[in-house]
Amino acid sequence: MPKKLLLLPPLNPYSAFRAPRAHPAAPPAMNAARTGYRVFSANSTAACTELAKRITERLGAELGKSVVYQETNGETRVEIKESVRGQDIFIIQTIPRDVNTAVMELLIMAYALKTSCARNIIGVIPYFPYSKQSKMRKRGSIVCKLLASMLAKAGLTHIITMDLHQKEIQGFFSFPVDNLRASPFLLQYIQEEIPNYRNAVIVAKSPDAAKRAQSYAERLRLGLAVIHGEAQCTELDMDDGRHSPPMVKNATVHPGLELPLMMAKEKPPITVVGDVGGRIAIIVDDIIDDVESFVAAAEILKERGAYKIYVMATHGILSAEAPRLIEESSIDEVVVTNTVPHEIQKLQCPKIKTVDISLILSEAIRRIHNGESMAYLFRNITVDD
């Protein structure tokens, strides 16, 4: 009789290598892969990482492991010390005095994360550098637009910033930009830290700052004053490049072409529009860097009868001799946020006070990562704010 064949089930070639059942692992750390995001600091100086530490503390996360340093020849080197594959990466970059080094640190870190297969790379840049160079000048360039293009090329997919010098800068980018506002924190400071603030008047040190000052005055139900004249900022008076090629003496004019002559500007004597006598004057602006215009405004306000003078600004760059000039001026207090590190300036001038804005930045990070609406952070914010 023929032998019967015993049919066996097909052999799985991988059965011998099947891994044993894994035991439940301990819950991962807050900054591990299950959260789906990392927070890095792109600064090579310890003073500039303070804001990043405050933000990560509020998020309950750890700061990402990376090394950012300068080579002996001045080149910037960035090394990412952990896996970022498939993660949402937030790069916090505060801008110190060495602006160009900070920009290169940000660009190189963004590109390093891009080549490490990060899913999204979001730049948290509270003070956006070169924001004052956002308009064409005579034979110049719009450097802010160039920087926006460089950030996109490096791999950034989103930016969180605060109080851009010109809101139109958002149009320079090919990806989303969230322009947060520091005014709620500064308004809270006025209400809680300035005694008898109901007797104050909000002051714009130039007509250019009038909209911002009006917003503060309306929210605090206070009066408004504007300084007009020679002390005003001359940024808008600069040539915009339309005089190229330059004018040539005795140039031949096309017959019949007679263009009307533009009259030269003549600034009126300095004057204060609004009553500041016997009141607290609060000067508001977005950036305080060279303080000569603020010191001059404070002197005028003192002459007009203001008995106490505050300066409120989002970005306290405070370059050069700013601490000394503030200390020797009629300004009683300068209040800025920590978008820019200024601890050294505070040691030089006790009049400088700081308002922490890490709360709104950490909440923006949380909402972007979770795909939540950002509308809550822009409550009651209008176009003019």
Provide, rounded to the nearest whole percent, the portion of the chain with pLDDT above 90.
70
**Final residue of a structural domain among 153, 180, 207:** 180
**pLDDT score, position 30:** 42
Arithmetic mean of pLDDT, 265-290: 90
Residue 212 lies in a domain: yes
Residue 295 lies in a domain: yes
109 close to 40: Cβ distance less than 8 angstroms: yes
Banded model confidence at residue 320, pLDDT cuts 50, 70, 90: confident
Residue 237 lies in a domain: no
Kindly tell me if the per-residue pLDDT of 274 is higher than 60. yes
Residue 331 lies in a domain: yes
| Separation of alpha carbons 361 and 126, rounded Å | 8
Are 212 and 96 members of one domain? Answer: no
Provide, rounded to the nearest whole percent, the portion of the chain with pLDDT above 70.
83
Are 209 and 174 members of one domain? Answer: no
Kindly tell me if the per-residue pLDDT of 13 is higher than 60. no
Are 172 and 275 members of one domain? Answer: no
Residue 298 lies in a domain: yes
- CA-CA-CA-CA torsion for 53, 57, 58, 64, nearest 10 degrees? 70
| Separation of alpha carbons 187 and 130, rounded Å | 27
**pLDDT score, position 237:** 46
**Final residue of a structural domain among 180, 215, 243:** 180
Q: What separation in angstroms does the CA of 349 have from each of 51, 217, 295, 312, 313?
A: 21, 28, 14, 16, 16
Q: Which residue has the tokens 């003192």?
A: 302
Model pLDDT for residues 343-353, shown as the tens digit of each residue: 999 999 999 99
Residue 15 lies in a domain: no
- What's the one-letter identity of residue 271? T
CATH code: domain of residue 120: 3.40.50.2020
Are 198 and 337 members of one domain? Answer: yes
**pLDDT score, position 247:** 55
Q: Which residue has the higher pLDDT, 286 or 23?
A: 286
**Longest CA pairwise span in the chain (Å):** 125
Are 52 and 172 members of one domain? Answer: yes
Banded model confidence at residue 136, pLDDT cuts 50, 70, 90: confident
Banded model confidence at residue 47, pLDDT cuts 50, 70, 90: confident
Kindly tell me if the per-residue pLDDT of 232 is higher than 70. no
| Separation of alpha carbons 86 and 104, rounded Å | 24
Are 158 and 188 members of one domain? Answer: no
**pLDDT score, position 266:** 76
231 close to 293: Cβ distance less than 8 angstroms: yes
- What's the one-letter identity of residue 83? S
Angle, CA of 319, 324 and 326, to the nearest 5°? 85
151 close to 159: Cβ distance less than 8 angstroms: yes
Kindly tell me if the per-residue pLDDT of 236 is higher than 60. no
| Separation of alpha carbons 10 and 50, rounded Å | 62
Range(s) of the domain holding residue 275: 183-231+268-355
Are 146 and 290 members of one domain? Answer: no
Residue 382 lies in a domain: no
> How big is the chain, counted in residues?
385
**Final residue of a structural domain among 115, 149, 180:** 180
Q: pTM for the complete prediction?
A: 0.82
Kindly tell me if the per-residue pLDDT of 255 is higher than 80. no
Arithmetic mean of pLDDT, 371-382: 91
Q: Which residue has the higher pLDDT, 329 or 259?
A: 329
Model pLDDT for residues 55-94, shown as the tens digit of each residue: 999 999 999 999 999 999 989 999 999 999 999 999 999 9
Token pair belonging to 251: 């140039």
Are 175 and 82 members of one domain? Answer: yes
Domain count, the chain: 2
Model pLDDT for residues 111-129, shown as the tens digit of each residue: 999 999 999 999 999 999 9
**pLDDT score, position 29:** 44
Left, alpha or beta for 120 (phi > 0: left; psi -120 to 50: alpha)? beta
Are 206 and 222 members of one domain? Answer: yes
Are 200 and 51 members of one domain? Answer: no
Are 176 and 191 members of one domain? Answer: no
Model pLDDT for residues 168-201, shown as the tens digit of each residue: 999 999 999 999 999 999 999 999 999 999 999 9
Distance of CA 99 to the CA centre of its chain: 13
- SS3 string of the chain? CCCCCCCCCCCCCCHHHCCCCCCCCCCCCCCCHHHCEEEEECCCCHHHHHHHHHHHHHHCCCECCEEEEECCCCCEEEEECCCCCCCEEEEECCCCCCHHHHHHHHHHHHHHHHHCCCCEEEEEECCCCCCCCCCCCCCCCCHHHHHHHHHHHHCCCEEEEECCCCHHHHHHCCCCEEEECCHHHHHHHHHHHCCCHHHEEEEECCHHHHHHHHHHHHHHCCEEEEEECCCCCCHHHCCCCCCCCCCCCCCCCCCCCCCCCCCCCCCCCCEEECCCCCCEEEEEEEEECCCHHHHHHHHHHHHCCCCEEEEEEEEECCCCCHHHHHHHCCCCEEEEEECCCCHHHHHHCCCEEEECCHHHHHHHHHHHHHCCCCHHHHCCCCCCC
Token pair belonging to 320: 């050069």
Are 80 and 188 members of one domain? Answer: no
Q: Which residue has the higher pLDDT, 73 or 235?
A: 73
Residue 13 lies in a domain: no
- Helix 358-370 to helix 50-59 angle (10° resolution) is 50
- What's the one-letter identity of residue 292? E
